[in-house]
Amino acid sequence: RRGVSFRLQALRVCSGRHPCAVCCPATMLNRVTRLVPRARQLDPGRFLHGGPQGPQGLAVHLDDRVPDETPRAGSRPSEDDPAGAGEQREDRHYRIPLQDLPTVFAHGLPQYQHYVCQVKTFHEACLLVRRPALELLRHLDGTNFAHPAVRYVLYGEKGTGKTLSLCHVIHFCAKRDWLVVHVPDAHLWVKSCRGLLRSAYNRQRFDQPVEASSWLKSFKTANERFLSQIKIQETYMWNKRESTEKGRPLGEVVEQGLTRVKNATDAVGIVLKELKSQSCSGAFRLLVAVDGVNALWGKTTLKREDKSLMAPEELALVHSLRKMVRNDWHGGAVVLALSQTGSLFTPRMAYLPQELLGKEGFDALDPFVPVLVSNYSPEEFERCIQYYLENSWLQHEKAHTEEGKKELLFLSDANPGQLERLCAYL
């Protein structure tokens, strides 16, 4: 019953000198291939690209690969440029150039250590293009910026790919030169914060200097170029001596928040307010992307001075974010993702918007466009396995065979998160 173990031999080794778009465009046919000895394939320091010969070489070895018409048939990611959704087809891996990563995802992906490790190992960040993300991108392409911002809510069971779909959308919009306001995980703002301060602006609310300043820092790296263009429209008095005049660039507000940590939360509030009001003017497009948005209407584990639990609206950051997520502005879009994983006091099986947001949150977000993210379809699963096999990541002899794939399918139940965990680092 044992299958014969195959070895991938027809792989081309990339030197890394040229940008990837040169080596691997969609229609290259004359490529030089050389046989790479097995030991070198495992060296993580090298780039391993399948090349156009890759899939055909694979097609010879593997049982049931049906090569498509295009020479790059379904194996290697070709799209670096997300612009033009027509080029992106489903079931392709879509690669984000590494130099984009620090800027676009300046906030990082906090709960995705595995993904970060995978990026480091493969020296490329690849996402599978899936239907929910594609739909979202198409909608975003066709947004009418005169209408109020449409809210899209990504929901689904645990591990189905909501956060990564959100990242795909963010990268897409960043490439199109939108201004992206990305909150990687709203849950971090409602639990285990140190250094809560009474807000100077509003005695009822609380500031979170640490979280606010870290967010401001990543916001700055992500959107450098906009900070000098956008001018604020009001004068803000920080204290008796410091103030920011009207007409100064937004960057100064951010600087103020970074240098004076006590004012960081207020700075965040100001930034969000300004962006909202100015996006209506049409100078830029605004994308608000929040992950774990159910934290804004859930419970917190933060305590007031008298040891009683706080409600989320008493936090200034949460308050300003809630205002941002409302649809009383136009000139952009709002994409939200629910998450049960980090949420507090929610049952494990809950994944529907109603359950996770609660009545209050649901009413606040209503109307929205729900986007269901589900487990992999058989084709997507196949693609994912192919990706791992191409990168020589799955070393077990049976990984190539049908039985091995069936085993993986059963164990992970086509859940992307589980599959990733099964195949990933120890």
Partner 1 sequence: MATPCVFCGAAAFYRLFLGGRVSLTRRQGVWKAAAAELQTDTGFQILRLRHTTGVTTKKNVAALRRETYTVDFIKKQIEEFNIGKRHLANMMGEDPETFTQEDIDRAIAYLFPSGLFEKQARPVMKHPEQIFPKQRAIQWGEDGRPFHFLFYTGKQSYYSLMHEAYGKLLEAEKRQSQLQAKGLFSEKTETKDLIGSRWLIKEELEEMLVEKLSDQDYAQFIRLLERLLTLHCGAEEEFVQRFRRSVTIQSKKHLIEPVQYDEQGMAFSTSEGKRKSAKAEAVVYEHGSGRIKVNGIDYLLYFPVTQDREQLMFPFHFLDRLGKHDTTCMVSGGGRSSQAGAIRLAVARALCSFVTEEEVEWMRQAGLLTADP
- 195 contact partners, CB below 8 Å, separation of at least 6: 208, 209, 210
Stretches 6-14, 190-198, 210-218, 402-410: which one binds partner 1 (CB under 8 A)?
A: 402-410
Q: How many residues bind partner 1 (CB under 8 A)?
A: 17
- Binding status of residue 123 toward partner 1 by CB under 8 A: no
Q: 336-365 mask for partner 1 (x: CB under 8 A)?
A: ------------xx----------------
- Pinpoint the alpha helices (H) of 194-263: 209-222, 224-229, 250-259
Q: Would you say 217 and 258 are in contact if contact means Cβ atoms under 8 Å apart?
A: yes
Q: Which residues are 369's β-sheet partners? A: 152
Report the candidate in 64, 57, 66 with the shortest Cα–Cα distance to residue 36: 57
Q: Would you say 309 and 303 are in contact if contact means Cβ atoms under 8 Å apart?
A: yes
Q: Give least dist CB 341 to partner 1, A.
A: 11
Burial 183-201 (b: 16+ CB within 10 A, else e): bbbbbbbbeebeebeebee
Q: Which is nearer to partner 1, 360 or 413 (CB)?
A: 413
Instruction: Using CB under 8 A, pick the residue from 9, 33, 327, 418 that binds partner 1.
Output: 418
The terminus-to-terminus CA distance of the chain in angstroms comes to 28
Q: Is 163 helix (H, G, I), strand (E, B) or coil?
A: helix
- Binding status of residue 245 toward partner 1 by CB under 8 A: no
Structure token pair of residue 147: 């209408």
Cα separation, 50 vs 236, whole angstroms: 56
Q: Give least dist CB 407 to partner 1, A.
A: 6
Stretches 270-278, 286-294, 303-311, 407-415: which one binds partner 1 (CB under 8 A)?
A: 407-415
- Binding status of residue 374 toward partner 1 by CB under 8 A: no
Q: Give least dist CB 118 to partner 1, A.
A: 18
Q: Which is nearer to partner 1, 386 or 412 (CB)?
A: 412
- Binding status of residue 406 toward partner 1 by CB under 8 A: yes
Instruction: Using CB under 8 A, pick the residue from 415, 416, 420, 423 that binds partner 1.
Output: 415
Q: Which is nearer to partner 1, 368 or 388 (CB)?
A: 388
Q: Which is nearer to partner 1, 117 or 349 (CB)?
A: 349
- Binding status of residue 283 toward partner 1 by CB under 8 A: no
> What residues between 90 and 109 interact with partner 1 by CB under 8 A?
none
- The position carrying tokens 């269901």 is 372
Q: Would you say 347 and 379 are in contact if contact means Cβ atoms under 8 Å apart?
A: no
Q: Give least dist CB 265 to partner 1, A.
A: 37
Cα separation, 245 vs 239, whole angstroms: 13
Q: Would you say 414 and 386 are in contact if contact means Cβ atoms under 8 Å apart?
A: no
Cα separation, 400 vs 393, whole angstroms: 11
- Binding status of residue 421 toward partner 1 by CB under 8 A: yes
Stretches 96-104, 118-126, 325-333, 399-407: which one binds partner 1 (CB under 8 A)?
A: 399-407
> Can you give the binding site for partner 1, defined by CB under 8 A?
1, 157-158, 348-349, 403, 406-407, 409-413, 415, 418, 421-422
